[in-house]
Amino acid sequence: MRAVSALALLVLAATPALAQQDLLAQQRLQTEMRLQELQQQADMARQREITTSNELMALDARLRAEQGMADVRAQAISPRLPSAPQNQVYAPPPAQIDTSRLASIPDDRLADSDRRVREASGARR
């Protein structure tokens, strides 16, 4: 009977230690599971960040391409005029043109020239 009671005493003495070890093992398992869950959440957040970054880069490239195409279309419709040089002032065009400096042909000489051209070409009126 002593062997049984010694064994019972050992079991009773070991029970708190086994219970404490079991509790520590459960806590360790819960901690590892929580760490894995946090790691998965961090991985998913990183993947979402990469996806968002890729989408933003694609949208930026698309916007730049569309702006380039719009610029090309706008230039085809109305070409850009050269801009006036800086620091240079231009006078506005005169309100009336001074015809005194233009070459003139008297009407009789112009009619004579026209007659000779027609005769040479054989054209009839």
22 in a structural domain: yes
Query: How far apart (Å, rounded) are the C-alpha atoms in residues 40 and 46?
Result: 10
Domain membership flag for residue 85: no
CB 46 within 8 A of CB 40: no
What are the tens digits of pLDDT across the range 77-107?
876 677 766 766 677 777 787 788 888 888 9
User: What does pTM read for this prediction?
Assistant: 0.41
Scored b (16 or more CB within 10 A) or e, 3-24 reads eeeeeeeeeeeeeeeeeeeeee
Task: State residue 94's pLDDT score.
Answer: 72
Structure tokens at 25: 């093992």
**Torsion 46-47-50-56 (CA) sign:** negative
User: Does 9 reside within a domain?
Assistant: yes
Evaluate whether residue 2 is within a structural domain: yes
Structure tokens at 123: 């054209």
- Residue-range definition of the domain harbouring residue 60: 1-77
pLDDT for position 2: 57
Quick check: is 63 in a domain? yes
Domain count, the chain: 1
Q: Euclidean distance between the first and final Cα of the chain, in Å?
A: 155
Highest averaged pLDDT of the listed ranges 44-48, 83-87, 103-107, 111-115: 44-48
Please give the pLDDT value at position 35: 95
